[in-house]
Structure formats: structure tokens, C-alpha cells
Amino acid sequence: MKLTNLPLSFAVVGLSVNLIVASISFAGTDATIQLKSTIDKVIKIAKDEGLKSNKSDRRMAMQKAIDERFSYSQMVRRSLGKTWDSLSDQDKKDFIKLFKGLLENSYASKLESYSDEKINYTGEVIKGKYALVKTDVVRPNSTIGVDYKLILDNGKWEVYDFVIEGVSMIRNYKSQFTKIIRRDSYEALVEKLTKKISELKKEL
């Protein structure tokens, strides 16, 4: 089974670069403020003329900014479902590292293709340690709804899922991962993801 392109690129919409305006149209709490700070960092890196000529440094800077806000362990738990519980501690660590590499490299290879956009922070829902931050990504010819799901961990709000136009990134990954594991094996999934990351790195 071939991994589709959707989950590899669709969360990128939420961290689009070269945004003209980033506005909050409501009284956002720490969840929105912290999320916006990360998006602002990505925008700054994307616009840095000094980094445009050094793709390696630029990629590292973007990865660092994204890593500060993403909870890869939460993403993996939800993407693997029941399979997560059956893995050894070492296998869990290895898969988190693999998943992290997948997202980092897919972001780095696609972020620069987005331009002339505007992001509006339109709403927020807080339920205990969970938050949903709603945004609209406004393009010249369309507006895309992007919802960020975050979890509070030691005072820090971390993203564990994106919902783009009603489609959850994590549910999409879970559907694909489950099919591969059931049809082939967990080891086959690891092999496919490793191959995909290698392909993304070659795009540099």
C-alpha cells in the first residue's frame, strides 16, 4: 500500500509561510497565544533572506520551531491506536523518532510553496487540558478552515492534531497505518515510512 500525499502535506496549510497578516479576532488564551508564537517563528524563518541560500540551516531552523509546539508522542499514540500498547519501550521510542522525521521532512519540503496568504485566529474552545484553536487560512481565491487540537503539558500547549476542512490528520494516518499493519505487518509500516523519509530528504 502506498502512503497517500494528503497527510504528508495537508498539515502544512496550518503553518503556511509568507503570511501577510496574522490576526486574532477574539480574546484568545494561552493556547492561542502559544500557537501563534510558533507560527510567527516559522514565518520569520521563511522570510529570512540570510537563510534562503542555505537550505540545510533553514530546514534545521524550521524543524526546531515546529518541534517546540508538536507533541509527537501524542500524535503517534493516536495514529497507531491499539498497536501502540503492544510495542516495547524501545519500539515506541524508535517509532516516535521515525514519525518525527516524517513530519519534519514533509514540512521542510513543502512549506516554501505557500505565499500570499493570511491567517485569522477565529475561535477557541478549552476543555480541561485540551484546547481547540480555530483559524482560517485566506488565500487569493479561497479560504481554508484549519483547527488545531492541543494538549496542555506542564504549562505548555502542544499540537497533537490538525483538522483541515473537517479532515483530521491523525485519523488519516491511523487509517493508513492500520491498513498496512493488518495487511502486512508493523515492520512493513516501519519500512515504508523509512523509505518515504529517504525520498523526502532527496528533494532538498
pLDDT for res 63: 84
List, for residues 4-52, the tens digit of each pLDDT value: 544 434 444 455 433 444 555 555 689 999 999 998 888 788 778 788 7
pLDDT for res 112: 56
CA distance 3 to 7: 9
pLDDT for res 86: 96
Alpha helices, H only, the chain: 6-9, 30-47, 49-52, 55-67, 72-80, 82-86, 89-110, 169-183, 186-202
State the cell numbers at 75.
500524535
CA distance 76 to 99: 7
Domains of the chain: 6-197 (3.10.450.710)
The residue with cell 481565491 is 141
Which three-class secondary structure state does DSSP give residue 10?
helix
State the cell numbers at 96.
516516535
* Closest CA relative to residue 189, chosen from 77, 71, 99: 99
Q: Is the distance from CB of 130 to CB of 148 less than 8 angstroms? A: no
For the cut 90, the answer to whether the pLDDT of residue 150 exceeds it is yes
| Mean pLDDT estimate for the chain | 83
pLDDT for res 173: 95
CA distance 68 to 169: 19
List, for residues 82-130, the tens digit of each pLDDT value: 999 999 999 999 999 999 999 887 766 566 555 667 889 999 999 999 9
